Amino acid sequence: MNRPPLDQSIVFLKTGDLEITRHFYEQVCGLELVLNQETCHIFQLCSTGFLGFCHSKTEIIRPEATIITLVTSEVESWHAHLRDQGCWLDGDPRVNPQYQILHFYTRDPNGYSVEVQKFLDPRWRAAEQVGPSR
């Protein structure tokens, strides 16, 4: 079954404080704020992946149950960078044999879990190996 192509992806999450969220993702993580819509901020993760936060007056229920995963070949460098920025870290990067990843966690100001990981599983198709989305 053929489907129309996809060009980009944005995941939107709620925040009660856009400015502290912007500071974390822009200043601490170094992501570019590519669109400021006043009540929503969209950050670029990679060439076609984006993360958006929209102001909400409603409570974020169990934010720790949401995992924002940043995939990189530089897990150790990210760990050092976030440590140097004073971020809470759940420990050193470690291998998870079940999922064949090297990873660690931090939290953003909203309480969302942020996982930094590298796939060790040879079945993972890295972005540079994947053609246009069909």
Q: CA 109, CA 79: separation in Å to the nearest integer?
A: 17
Q: Please, what are the domains in the chain? A: 9-123 (3.10.180.10)
CB 20 within 8 A of CB 53: no
User: Which is higher by pLDDT, 125 or 70?
Assistant: 70
Q: What are the tens digits of pLDDT across the range 26-71?
A: 999 999 999 999 999 999 999 999 999 999 999 999 999 999 999 9
pLDDT-derived band of residue 89, with 50, 70 and 90 as boundaries?
very high
Provide the whole-model pTM. 0.89
